[in-house]
Structure 1
Amino acid sequence: MAKSPMDTLQLSYIQIAIAFLLFAQAKSTTEHTSTPQPNDTNTTCMASERSALLAFRAGLSDPANLLSSWKGDDCCGWKGVYCSNRTGHVVKLDLQGSGYTIDSDSRKVLAGNISSSLLGLQHLRYLDLSFNEFDKMQIPEFIGSLHKLRYLDLSMSMFIGRIPPQLGNLSNLQYSTDIMWLSRLTSLEHLDMTYVDLSAIVHWLPVVNMLPTLKFLFLTSCQLRTSPESLQLSNLTSLETLFLVGNQFHQRSTPNWFWDLTSLKYLDISYNGFYGPFLDEIGNMTSMVELHLSANSLVGMMPSNMKNLCNLEVLYSYTSNINGSITELLHRLPNCSRNKLQKLDLSDSNLTVSLPTAPVQALSNLSWLVLDHNKLTGHLPLWIGELTELTILDLNSNNLDGVIHEGHLSRLDMLDSFILSHNSITITVSPTWVPPFSLRILHLRSCQLGPKFPMWLRWQTHLWNLDISNTSINDIVPGWFWIGASSAEYLNIRNNQISGVLPSTMEFMRGVVMDFSSNQLDGPIPKLPSNLTSFDLSGNRVIGPLPLDFGAPGLRTLLLYNNMISGAIPSSLCSLRALRLLDLSRNGLNGSITDCLVNESSTNMTGLGIANLSLRNNNLSGEFPSLLQKCPRLIFLDLGHDQFSGTLPAWIGEKLLSLSFLRLRSNTFYGPIPVELSKLVNLQYLDLAYNNISGSIPRSIFSPTGMAQTRDKTDYLQYTSSSEFGVGQNQLVDYTVNFTVLTKGQERLYTGEIIYMVNLDLSCNSITGEIPAEIGTLVELKNLNLSSNNFNGKIPENIGALVQVESLDLSQNELSGEIPSSLSALTSLSRLNLFFNNLEGKIPAGNQLQTLEDQASIYIGNAGLCGPPLSRKCSQPEPIPGESHRDAGDGDMVSFFVATGSRYVMGLWVVFCTFLFKRRWRASWYSLCDNLYNRVYVQVIVTWASLRGKLNG
Structure 2
Amino acid sequence: MAKAPIDMFQLSCIQIAIALLLFNQVKSTTETFSLHPSGSCVTSERSALLTFRAGLSDPANLLSSWKGDNCCRWKGVYCSKRTGHVIRLDLAGPYCEIGYWGMEVVLDDWGTHALAGNISSSLLGLQHLWYLDLSCNGFDKIQIPEFLGSLHKLRYLDLSMSFIGKIPPQLGNLSNLRYLSLHSSLYYSSLAYHGTTYSTDITWLSRLTSLVHLDMTNVNLSTIVQWLPVVNMLQTLKVLHLHFCQLRSSPDSMQLSNLTSLETLYLGGNKFHKPIRPNWFWDLTSLKYFDISGNGFHGPFPDEIGNMTSIVELYLYDNDLVGMIPSNMKNLCTLEIFDSSNNNIDGTTTEIFHRLPSCSWNKLQDLFLGESNLTGSLPTTLIETLSNLTWLDLAGNRLTGHVPVWLGELTKLRMLNLCYNNLDGVIHEGHLSGLHMLEGLRLSDNSIAITVSPTWVPPFSLAMIHLRSCQLGPKFPTWLRWQTQVVSLDVSNTSINDMLPNWFWIAASSVEYLNIGNNQITGVLPSRMEFMKAKVMDFSLNQLGGPIPKFSVNLLMLDLSQNNFIGPLPLDFGAPGLIALLLYNNMISGSIPSSLCMLQSLQMLDLSRNNLNGSITDCLVNNSSTNMSGLSILNLSLRNNNLSGEFPAILQKCPQLTFLDLRDNQFSGILPAWIGEKLLSLSFLRLRSNMFHGHIPVELMKLPNLQYLDLAYNNISGSIPLSIVNCTGMAQARDESSGLEYAFTFGAMYDENELVDYTENFMVLTKGQERLYTEEIIYMVNLDLSSNSLTGGIPEEISTLLELKSLNLSWNNFNRKIPDNIGRLMQVESLDLSHNELSGEIPSSLSALTSLSRLNLSYNNLSGKIPTGDQLQTLEDPTSIYIGNPGLCGSPLSRKCSSQPDPIPGENHGDASSDAVSFLLGTSYGYVVGLWLVFCTFLFKRKWRASWYSLYDRAYLQVAVYLRFPER
Task: Calculate the TM-score normalised by the size of structure 2.
Answer: 0.80
- Which of 50, 71, 78 is the equivalent residue of 1:82? 78
- Which of 755, 758, 772 is the equivalent residue of 2:781? 758
Q: Distance in 2 between matches of 1:656 and 1:123?
A: 58
1:939 maps to which residue? Answer: none
Deviations 1:570-621 (A, max 9, x none): 2222222221111111222233333323577887653332221212222223
Secondary structure of 1:741 counterpart: strand
- Which of 23, 37, 40 is the equivalent residue of 1:44? 40
Deviations 1:277-313 (A, max 9, x none): 3344444444333222323333332333434433322
CA contact (8 A) 1:598 1:608 kept: no
Whether 1:558 and 2:562 are equivalent positions in the alignment is no
**Pairwise CA RMSD of aligned residues?**
3.4
1:432 maps to which residue? Answer: 455
Relative to structure 1, the CA distance from residue 87 to residue 595 in structure 2 (aligned partners, 3 Å threshold; closer, same or farther) is closer
Q: Distance in 2 between matches of 1:702 and 1:226?
A: 44
Q: Distance in 2 between matches of 1:771 and 1:204?
A: 60
1:740 maps to which residue? Answer: 763
Deviations 1:103-160 (A, max 9, x none): 5756743544653x6555443322334446386656536745634x322334445365
- Which of 175, 178, 186 is the equivalent residue of 1:174? 178
Matches within 5 A, 1:524-563: 524-563=547-586
- Which of 590, 604, 608 is the equivalent residue of 1:585? 608
Relative to structure 1, the CA distance from residue 600 to residue 798 in structure 2 (aligned partners, 3 Å threshold; closer, same or farther) is farther
Shift of 1:559: 1.1
Whether 1:94 and 2:70 are equivalent positions in the alignment is no
Q: Distance in 1 between matches of 2:482 and 2:219?
A: 48
2:133 maps to which residue? Answer: 128
Shift of 1:386: 0.6
Q: Distance in 1 between matches of 2:900 and 2:261?
A: 102
Q: Distance in 2 between matches of 1:387 and 1:71?
A: 55
Secondary structure of 2:816 counterpart: strand
AA paired with 2:526?
P
Shift of 1:438: 0.9
* Larger-Rg structure: 2
AA paired with 1:146?
H
Secondary structure of 1:799 counterpart: helix
- Which of 780, 784, 793 is the equivalent residue of 1:770? 793
Whether 1:390 and 2:390 are equivalent positions in the alignment is no
Shift of 1:420: 0.6
Relative to structure 1, the CA distance from residue 641 to residue 153 in structure 2 (aligned partners, 3 Å threshold; closer, same or farther) is closer
Matches within 5 A, 1:304-703: 304-336=327-359, 339-597=362-620, 605-701=628-724, 703=726
Relative to structure 1, the CA distance from residue 169 to residue 401 in structure 2 (aligned partners, 3 Å threshold; closer, same or farther) is closer
AA paired with 1:729?
E
Relative to structure 1, the CA distance from residue 631 to residue 827 in structure 2 (aligned partners, 3 Å threshold; closer, same or farther) is same
Secondary structure of 1:458 counterpart: helix
Secondary structure of 2:408 counterpart: helix
AA paired with 2:681?
S
CA contact (8 A) 1:119 1:146 kept: no
Q: Distance in 2 between matches of 1:699 and 1:305?
A: 70
Shift of 1:207: 6.1
Shift of 1:236: 5.2
Relative to structure 1, the CA distance from residue 783 to residue 334 in structure 2 (aligned partners, 3 Å threshold; closer, same or farther) is closer
CA contact (8 A) 2:152 2:173 kept: no
CA contact (8 A) 2:367 2:391 kept: yes
Q: Distance in 2 between matches of 1:652 and 1:204?
A: 50
CA contact (8 A) 2:51 2:120 kept: no
Relative to structure 1, the CA distance from residue 464 to residue 72 in structure 2 (aligned partners, 3 Å threshold; closer, same or farther) is closer
Relative to structure 1, the CA distance from residue 209 to residue 854 in structure 2 (aligned partners, 3 Å threshold; closer, same or farther) is closer
- Which of 105, 115, 118 is the equivalent residue of 1:109? 115
Q: Distance in 2 between matches of 1:686 and 1:306?
A: 59
- Which of 149, 152, 155 is the equivalent residue of 1:150? 155
Relative to structure 1, the CA distance from residue 812 to residue 267 in structure 2 (aligned partners, 3 Å threshold; closer, same or farther) is closer
Q: Distance in 2 between matches of 1:864 and 1:211?
A: 87
Deviations 1:389-415 (A, max 9, x none): 111001111111111000000111110
Shift of 1:751: 2.4
Q: Distance in 1 between matches of 2:73 and 2:163?
A: 29
Matches within 5 A, 1:235-314: 238-254=261-277, 258-314=281-337
Shift of 1:812: 2.0
Q: Distance in 1 between matches of 2:548 and 2:779?
A: 35
Relative to structure 1, the CA distance from residue 434 to residue 671 in structure 2 (aligned partners, 3 Å threshold; closer, same or farther) is same
Q: Distance in 1 between matches of 2:864 and 2:759?
A: 47
Secondary structure of 2:863 counterpart: strand
Relative to structure 1, the CA distance from residue 123 to residue 690 in structure 2 (aligned partners, 3 Å threshold; closer, same or farther) is closer
Deviations 1:247-271 (A, max 9, x none): 4444554565555555443333333
Q: Distance in 2 between matches of 1:482 and 1:72?
A: 52
How many residues matched? Answer: 851
Relative to structure 1, the CA distance from residue 346 to residue 51 in structure 2 (aligned partners, 3 Å threshold; closer, same or farther) is same
Matches within 5 A, 1:911-950: none
Relative to structure 1, the CA distance from residue 530 to residue 599 in structure 2 (aligned partners, 3 Å threshold; closer, same or farther) is farther
Q: Distance in 2 between matches of 1:680 and 1:282?
A: 55
2:753 maps to which residue? Answer: 730
Shift of 1:755: 2.4
1:799 maps to which residue? Answer: 822
Secondary structure of 2:742 counterpart: helix
2:32 maps to which residue? Answer: 32
CA contact (8 A) 2:222 2:248 kept: yes
CA contact (8 A) 1:467 1:730 kept: no
CA contact (8 A) 1:354 1:377 kept: yes
Secondary structure of 1:152 counterpart: strand
AA paired with 1:174?
R
Secondary structure of 1:548 counterpart: coil
AA paired with 1:820?
P
Relative to structure 1, the CA distance from residue 35 to residue 780 in structure 2 (aligned partners, 3 Å threshold; closer, same or farther) is same
Shift of 1:214: 4.2
Shift of 1:77: 4.0
Gaps of 5+ in 1: 1-19, 879-953
1:913 maps to which residue? Answer: none
Secondary structure of 2:350 counterpart: helix
Secondary structure of 1:424 counterpart: coil
Q: Distance in 2 between matches of 1:746 and 1:52?
A: 76
Relative to structure 1, the CA distance from residue 53 to residue 850 in structure 2 (aligned partners, 3 Å threshold; closer, same or farther) is closer
Task: Calculate the TM-score normalised by the size of structure 1.
Answer: 0.82
Secondary structure of 2:815 counterpart: strand
Shift of 1:466: 0.6
1:940 maps to which residue? Answer: none
Relative to structure 1, the CA distance from residue 52 to residue 678 in structure 2 (aligned partners, 3 Å threshold; closer, same or farther) is closer
Secondary structure of 1:435 counterpart: coil
AA paired with 2:552?
P
Shift of 1:230: 6.2
CA contact (8 A) 2:537 2:559 kept: yes
Q: Distance in 1 between matches of 2:497 and 2:86?
A: 70
Secondary structure of 2:838 counterpart: strand
Relative to structure 1, the CA distance from residue 83 to residue 798 in structure 2 (aligned partners, 3 Å threshold; closer, same or farther) is same
Task: Identify the range of structure 1 (497-506 vs 224-233) with the bigger mean alpha-carbon deviation.
Answer: 224-233
Deviations 1:873-931 (A, max 9, x none): 333999xxxxxxxxxxxxxxxxxxxxxxxxxxxxxxxxxxxxxxxxxxxxxxxxxxxxx
AA paired with 2:35?
T
